[in-house]
Chain A
Amino acid sequence: MIRVTEQESLVELRKRLAAERNAYRKQVIVSSGTCGEACGSLVVINAFRRELAELGLADKVLLRATGCHGFCEQEPLAIIHPGNIFYCHVSPDDVCEIVSRTVARGEVIERLLYTDPVSGQKVTTEAEIPFYAAQDRVLLGQNQRLDPTSIDDYIADGGYSALAKVLAQMGPEEVIDEIKASGLRGRGGGGFPTGRKWASCRAARGDLKYVICNADEGDPGAYMDRSLLEGNPHLVLEGMIIGAYAIGAKEGYIYVRNEYPLALKHARHAVQQARACGFLGKNILGTGFCFDVEIARGAGAFVCGESTALMNSLEGKVGEPRPKDVHTVEEGLWGRPSNLNNVETWANVPGIINKGASWFASIGTESSKGTKIFSLTGQVRNTGLVEVPMGTSLRTIVFDIGGGAAGGGTVKAVQTGGPSGGCLPQSKFDLQVDFETLEQAGSMVGSGGMAVVMDEETCMVDMAKYFLDFLQDESCGKCVPCRVGVDRMLEIVTDITEGRGRPEHLDLLEDLSETVAETSLCALGKTAPNPLASTLRYFRNEYEAHIHERRCPAGVCRALIRYAIDAEKCNGCGVCRKACPHGAVTGEKKQPHSIDPDLCTKCGICRDSCKFEAVRVF
């Protein structure tokens, strides 16, 4: 590997690497992030490699395994250049046909193309797919152009040019001013202006300062940071080096949770490569600036995503938050000034330097600039990672990009911001997604998790119970409001779902959620009541139905529902009778069956097995 010691040699290296890549007229790109690997992308890549070698095309066609492209629903994906032909659900058996027809002769295989679920039309290229069409993929788009394990790919794509520009032409203050002017705000959840944070860390007293990248993403259903770090680790690293230069830090840490093995592997690999190339270490690009990065593994506690708990964990202590009355930019890791930013925040930095603050500030709303990645999960047709400009409406994200509810039903609510966020009903779907608007509506942008909840199938009380259970389990237990308060909330909500709810419980829950939100030690506790408070605010009627009528409108809470067979629809086929594990269904052949409520455990197997929708829930 060539060690880049001067600005000029980086430019030359880039020219050479880009020319090498442009020499290939044909390219096969297979997405192979964690989601791709889970769907079998590794087998597909091996099949491609074998097939290309057999046909003697191995040195004529560039085969590239990239990070996640975002459309996780359709994995494994393969994109064939020229033509930008987009194949989804590729299996190893299809590879032979793809190579012989598409790669060799440029024919399109109709069968493997994406089908637009609305029009039923086959779509050839990515740009025509509605999921991609409504997005602005500033960060995620880069994932497609490079192999995350190759620094050469990154350099050829213009990588480390922002670092070279900063070191050659800009002073640390200028960098901070540029970030301030761009209006970039922290992507980890708080939304604190990044430029201001850097400036106060630079101004803080101390010789030794640290920059930290928080890749301890623990929200259920959120994986934006993972995809960025495993799909484009050098981008994050370049952002960190620029940040370190601006702040005056000599050391940096990337804190990755151990449950992300691929992100960890790629990040480690990237750091080694950057060190070998001279982008990390002493005298970076011959300017005398020194900086190095270490990778730290997190042991999987959700609370360690909180900045002070993360620093405790880095120091080798128990991952518990510390009081934040003195900010971490002044007294952080080992009591020294530390600047902690989220993966996505760091990844935005090189783009701002390269394209200018005004470019970044032109995207988004008045107060929230740039694009934001959301992970769209739950009962939605197109699950995956979505990158949209700040200020896009929830309706666009859920319906235009997400394609609406998976089963064709109506979408009842969207849960934004992970377990600490809130549920927003349909009436709020026209809200712009930005930091202030969502917070006013009782939810938050958070790190960007977005679960879509469906009508009739999801009970909002049960939903609140799920998130409370998660938070109660993940609370570190240090302070009383979070440890006892969340536990009590869970106790009361469990009572409500099991038919022991009392009218005064609702006021108590409101009182308690305010107490926990105001008095908890860290942000986990302060936002813990959000799922409960927002469902209480927008779906109070469901709570009231549980308490006053002892009824679960969605038919989810087992203690409040009853299974019965509709005698008119039942034709006595006996499938449910055979399926019931408890022998609760009785009836003669060809005669309507019935369910014995004493034996029924409400498991729902009979309903799932009935082809005539005769089993109903009351």
Chain B
Amino acid sequence: MPEFVTLTIDGAMVRARKGATVLDTALELGICIPHLCHMPNVTAIGACRLCIVEVVKHGRAKVTASCTLDVQEGMAVRTNSGKIHRLRRNIAELLVAEAPNSKAIQDLAARCGVTEVRYPFRNRNCVLCGRCVRICSDMWQARALGFVGRGRERHVDFPFGTRPDFCKMCNSCIDLCPMTIIPCPRPMQPGEEYLCGLCGSQTSMASTVPETCVQCSLGKGFQCSRAVPC
């Protein structure tokens, strides 16, 4: 018999399974909190920080990632306050400026309300979300991929830079990579980095109906439990 706790998410009193995270609870209940590094059934590391929420405790609000936060009795969570919206937009803006050449990241940014990017584009091939690393080590127990280096030098690589025998060639890493979903027409060439215009309709929904699922490409490609496959 699972135990349950009661908490409020955006003012609504909800019942959640004890031990579940706030993000999973919210997604199950149909409240979409944008997220990138979180995947179902894989340990959350709280790296992308897109799933931030405000937790009100003793009258003070604290910003924290919801994927690593377990539900507690009497907890009050705000997933879409003005402050959270602004902070989330800023993080998404940083991400999309790093790697504009991905429809998944572009949609995610649009979902978070990014309309203009204030930084020069960098066009990287990896946003270090760690989905590939964790699916390889947590789900398949292969540990063929890992993070190498620190800070600016951090990147994903095989041990010692060559593909080891214990890589099972399962392709999970490629399936789950947000960078493999290219922008609609074709991959961007250097100098023509811009946000994909097709996200416009979703952007308007993101600001008017913030918590509903917008069936973003990220969800479809990333097995978001709520996205309807087309």
Contact = CB atoms under 8 A, between A and B. Distances in A.
Interface of A: 301, 303, 318, 323, 325-326, 472-481, 483-485, 487-488, 491, 504, 508, 511-512, 514-515, 518-521
A487 B94 CA distance: 10
A508 B151 contact: no
B63 A474 contact: no
Contact of A480 (B47, B64, B119): B47
6 contacts: A303-B150, A473-B151, A476-B151, A488-B94, A515-B91, A521-B46
A518 B63 contact: yes
Contact of A521 (B65, B118, B151): B65
Contact of B154 (A323, A325, A326, A477): A477
B47 A478 contact: yes
A256 B90 CA distance: 37
Please classify how large the interface on chain B is, using the bins under 10, 10 to 19, 20 to 34, 35 or more. Answer: 20 to 34
B46 A323 contact: yes
B94 A318 contact: no
Contacts of A323: 44-46, 64-65, 68-69
B49 A479 contact: yes
Given A480-B50, A485-B94, 14 more contacts: A325-B68, A326-B70, A476-B150, A477-B147, A479-B49, A480-B91, A480-B127, A484-B94, A511-B90, A515-B90, A518-B63, A519-B52, A519-B63, A521-B49
Interface string B17-53: 0000000000000000000000000001111111010
Nearest to B95: A480
B95 A508 contact: no
Contact of B49 (A481, A511, A512): A481
A484 B95 contact: yes
Interface of B: 44-50, 52, 63-65, 68-70, 87, 90-91, 94-95, 97-98, 118-119, 127-128, 147, 149-154
Nearest to A477: B154
Contacts of B70: 325-326
Given A323-B65, A323-B68, A325-B64, A479 B48 contact: yes
Contacts of B154: 476-478, 483
Contacts of A318: 147
Given A323-B65, A325-B69, A481 B149 contact: no
B150 A301 contact: yes
Contacts of A519: 49, 52, 63, 65, 87, 91
A156 to B, nearest CB: 46
B22 to A, nearest CB: 9
Contacts of A473: 151-152
A326 B70 CA distance: 9
Which of B46, B127, B153 has the most chain A CB atoms inside 10 A of its CB? B46
A184 B37 CA distance: 40
A500 to B, nearest CB: 11
